[in-house]
Amino acid sequence: MKNMLLLTLTTLVATLTVNTATADSTTYSFGVVPQFSSERISKTWEPILDLLETETGLQFKLSGSLDIPAFERSFTKGGFDFAYMNPYHAIVAHKNAGYEPIIRDVGRSLYGIIVVKKDSPLQSVTELEGKKVAFPAPNALGAALIPRAEFSRKHNIEIEEMYVSSHTSVYLNVALGLAAAGGGVQKTLAQQPEHIASQLKIISKTQEVPPHPITVHKRVPEKVKLAVQRALMKIAATESGAKLLKKIPIKVAGETSIDDYQLINAMNLDEFYVK
């Protein structure tokens, strides 16, 4: 009887120890860089957050941003507990607000693309001198920040910048002939409707960098950070979970840290970052 009682108490203590990491009534905010419409972001992320709640026992709330500048203002103030952001945002957010990358796609790199209309006579970036180029926002890393830096330093050209709030709007403006070219990334181009994507062609690709991480603010307890990181890896290991993460897209989930993003510092993009 004593042994049974001891076993029961031991099991109870172990259970309580595990649950302590997730016995938390706090609702954690989760920001997502608005590359797409709010409807699409919600459709992609809500099922993932539902799984995170199931796996961790924590509560999460998707926190939307009107556009990329609004998202930047929010994370600069530490407005999100967790956030999915571009790699340069990760550097800025770490430095200014104490965000730490915890999960990223370790199976691919991020690079920017410059697209023009399929029937455009433009064949190279140097031909964009003086022409209107659409971008989602000044600090969209692959779609604007790196391209603008390369236009200036690598190609020695000046262009007319046009900001249209989202990647989808960039592609639409180019397809409609409202801009001579546009900046985007391969993943967002691949996710465009066929009637838009079929009207575009890529004329340039930028330098490659590690892709968008999921980050956590320094105020979030370490046990919560670890619970979320482990839960995301567990979700990624299941067929249904991996399918959901691919929509972000995170095709090969892996743990990460700010160290993986230090090479971006060497690119000296501060000159082109709009505060």
Q: Please tell me the pTM assigned to this model.
A: 0.79
Q: In the prediction, which pLDDT does 61 show? A: 98
Q: What is the pLDDT of residues 40-72, one digit of tens each?
A: 999 999 999 999 999 999 999 999 999 889 999
pLDDT of residue 11: 40
The reply to whether 112-205 shares the fold of 2-108+210-272 is: yes
Residue with tokens 């067929």: 239
Query: Could you write out the three-class secondary structure of 146-208?
Result: HHHHHHHHCCCCCCEEEECCCHHHHHHHHHCCCCCEEEEEHHHHHCCCHHHHCCEEEEEECCC
Whether the pLDDT of residue 10 is over 80: the answer is: no
> Residue 273: which residues within 8 A CB-CB, separation 6 or more?
88, 92, 138, 139, 145
* Residue 85: HSE in the Cβ half-sphere, 13 Å Cα cutoff: 36
**Alpha-carbon distance 234 to 228, whole Å?**
10
Per-residue pLDDT band at 30 (split at 50, 70, 90)? very high
What CATH architecture does domain 112-205 belong to?
Answer: 3-Layer(aba) Sandwich (3.40)
pLDDT digits (tens, 9 = 90+) for 113-131: 999 999 999 999 999 999 9
Between 19 and 184, the more confident residue is: 184
Percent of the chain past pLDDT 90, that is, above it, reads: 84
Q: What is 2-108+210-272's CATH superfamily?
A: Periplasmic binding protein-like II (3.40.190.10)
Amino acid at position 185, single letter: V
Q: pLDDT tier at 187 (50, 70, 90 boundaries)?
A: confident
Q: What is the mean pLDDT of residues 71-90?
A: 96
Domain ranges of the chain: 2-108+210-272, 112-205
In this structure, what DSSP letter does residue 97 have?
H
- Above 70 in pLDDT, residue 199? yes
Confidence band, pLDDT 50/70/90 cuts, at residue 23:
low
Question: What would the pLDDT profile of 96-118 be if each residue is shown by its tens digit?
Answer: 999 999 999 999 999 999 999 99
Contact 26, 53 (CB under 8 A): no
pLDDT score at 5: 38
